[in-house]
Amino acid sequence: MEKLIEIVKFQPSHQIQIDEMMAIIALEFEDNIFSRTIEQTPLIPDKYWIALADNKVVATVGLSLKGHYAIIKRMMVQKEFRGQDIGISNDLMHTAINYCSLNGFTEIYLGTMQQFKAARSFYQRHGFDVVLENQLPGDFLPNPIDSVFFKKCLAE
């Protein structure tokens, strides 16, 4: 039986499950993939959505809004919910892109880590192009652990 996946707006009550999901994802990698510890207060993006499977948080995506552009933050999917056959990543990305398109944003940026090869390919399939760090907007605050950056131009 297929699990029902629902994308909803973030509520503070989701944070405990998000922290648990982040801790599980972190175990997949030798290097630290988060720039903060779970004990630190998280910065909540301006717009933030979560994917629920059977009322359990299994994925997230957020947007930090900056004038004419947005930055994708916290794009995370629990391992067993990744892949094109499930489609959660696509649904979350479309949610973020659609929000930007409907609200007049002309560009979307994001940063990721070198070792996230599947994520980098995913972003490129969704129309993002690699940019150098010095091509980011002046007020873009990259995550200190990000080393690969992307930009998507939206039709005006």
Which domains, from first to last, does the chain contain? 5-153 (3.40.630.30)
Integer Cα distance of 139 and 125 in angstroms: 26
Answer whether 69's CB lies under 8 Å from 128's CB. Answer: no
How does DSSP classify residue 18? H
Give the pLDDT of residue 24. 83
* Averaged pLDDT score across all residues of the chain: 86
Integer Cα distance of 26 and 90 in angstroms: 22
How does DSSP classify residue 102? H
Geometric angle at alpha carbon 11, from 140 and 54, rounded to 5° = 115
Structural tokens at position 105: 């944003």
What lies within 8 Å, CB to CB, of 113 at 6+ separation is 33, 145, 146, 147, 148
What confidence tens digit (pLDDT) does each residue in 33-44 have?
555 544 455 578
What confidence tens digit (pLDDT) does each residue in 35-85 have?
554 445 557 889 999 999 989 999 999 999 998 999 999 898 988 888 777
What confidence tens digit (pLDDT) does each residue in 119-151 have?
899 999 999 999 999 999 988 877 788 899 999
Answer whether 84's CB lies under 8 Å from 118's CB. Answer: no
Nearest to 94 by CA among 58, 121, 122: 122
Neighbouring C-beta atoms of residue 76, cutoff 10 Å: 22
Residue 153 CA from chain centroid, whole number: 17
What confidence tens digit (pLDDT) does each residue in 82-117 have?
877 778 999 999 999 999 999 999 999 999 988 888
